[in-house]
Structure 1
C-alpha cells in the first residue's frame, strides 16, 4: 500500500472547542479507515430509516460506515491533489454532496456490488412521499382494531362508529390514489392498515479502488 500523507496538516473551519475536537476525531477515524481498508464505496440512501441503516451496519461489522458530515469527511479525504490523504482521494470528496455516506471495506468489490444490488426492505411511507398505489376500504366491520382506537380513526378522517363494541366503517373510503403526495393522516392510515409503500435501499454511487474512483 502506498505511503499515506498523514503528516499533512488538516485545516478545519473555526468552531467551538468541543465541536473542533469532534471534527478532529472524525478526521482521524477516516484516516485510520483509509489505512485499514482497501476500498471506499460512496452510497446514497433511499427512504432513510435509522433503524434499517443500523441493521446494515450490524451485518457489516468487518467494515466501517460513515454517514453525514460531508464537509468534514471531504477535508479528511482531501479537497485537491495537494491535500488528499491518498492518491486521487480528493475525487471522493467531489462526490460527497447531499444525503450520501461512505463504506470502507476489504470485501471483494464484486461481493459488495452484489449485496447492495439485491438488498432492500419494505417499510411504510412517510408524509410527503408519493403513494405507489390506490388503497380503498370497503364499508363494514374492522375487527382488527380495538374499540379504544375508534376515536383516533375518526380523527384521521375515517367515517367510523362503534356497533356492539366493534369498530365499523360506515361507507366505502379511499385512503389515497396512486401518485398523490401523502398527508400525515394518510401515512398514518396506511401504516394502521398495513400497506407499506416505501423501500429502504442503499445505492452505490462510486468506488475508490486501486487509487482510482469509478462511478456506477
Structure 2
C-alpha cells in the first residue's frame, strides 16, 4: 500500500532561518549605506522590469546603491520614529515608504539624481491586466506579417483567420484591445506578436534626506502598480 503523503512532516526551520538572515542582511546593508552615502531618496516605480532595473543599478554602482524589498524591513533599518531612527530625522523616510517603493543611496548631486530619474523610461510589452494605451484593430484581409504556420496559434487567440493559398487571411475586422481597458492574456500575446510595447517602466523620486535637509517631491503618486518578475 503506498505511503500517504499527508503524514509527511516538513520542517520549516531552515526556511525561517534563511528569511531571518536575509532580513538582517538588508537591515545591516541599509545602515552601512547610511554611513557611506551623503543622501537617501525614496522612489516609487511602475511596471517594474527586473532586468532593466538591474541595468540601472549596475550603471550607478560606482556612486550609488539601491534597495528594493519589504517596506517593513527597510523601515526597521531606518527607524520609524525619533526614538529608534538610525540618523537624525531619517525616520521621515519611513513615513513615505509604501506600496512599490525603494531606497536610493547616493553621493551624486541632487540635480543629477533628479535628471537621471526624470529621464529614465524603458518601454516593454504589456502584461495581462495592464490598461491599453491605445485602441488596436486589425483590418480584414491578408496578415502577411505572419507565416502560415502561425494560423492555428492565431486562431487560439480568438482571431478569425483562415489560410488562403498559404497566406493567413483575417476574415473580418478584429479589435485587439481598446484604450483604457485591461488587456486579456490573448490581447497581450497578440500585441507582443505585433511588436507593440504598451508598458512603460518608470521610476519616480518621492523625497530626499541628507544630514541637513529633508525634501518631499511627490506625495500623490499611485504606488499600487503590480510588480513584474521579468
Q: TM-score, normalised by structure 2?
A: 0.83
Q: Find the residue that maps to 1:81 and give its secondary structure.
A: coil
Q: Alpha-carbon deviation of 1:108?
A: 0.5
Partner of 2:115: 114
Q: CA deviation at 1:210?
A: 3.0
Hey, what does 1:44 align to over in structure 2? 44
Aligned-residue RMSD, C-alpha: 1.5
Query: Could you say which residue in structure 2 is the equivalent of 1:33?
Result: 33
Report Cα offsets for 1:33-62 as digits up to 9, x if no partner: 111111111111111111121121122122
The match for 1:143 is 144
Equivalent pair of 1:41/1:204 in contact (CA under 8 Å): yes
Partner of 2:23: 23
Q: Could you tell me how far apart the structure 2 residues matched to 1:122 and 1:22 are? A: 32
Given the two structures, how large is their TM-score scaled by the length of structure 1? Answer: 0.88
Q: CA deviation at 1:185?
A: 1.0
Relative to structure 1, the CA distance from residue 152 to residue 114 in structure 2 (aligned partners, 3 Å threshold; closer, same or farther) is: same
1:32-111 correspondence runs (5 A):
32-62=32-62, 63-111=64-112
**1:125 is the counterpart of 2:126:** yes
| Post-superposition offset of 1:16 | 3.2
Give the conservation status (yes or no) of the 8 Å contact 2:37–2:106.
yes
- How many residues in Structure 1 have an aligned counterpart in Structure 2? 202
Secondary structure of the corresponding residue to residue 79 of structure 1: coil
Ranges in structure 2 where 5+ consecutive residues have no aligned partner: 1-14, 218-230
Q: Distance in 1 between matches of 2:59 and 2:168?
A: 42
Following the alignment from structure 2 to structure 1, what is the Cα–Cα distance between the partners of residues 110 and 169? 54
- 1: CA distance between counterparts of 2:51 and 2:20? 28
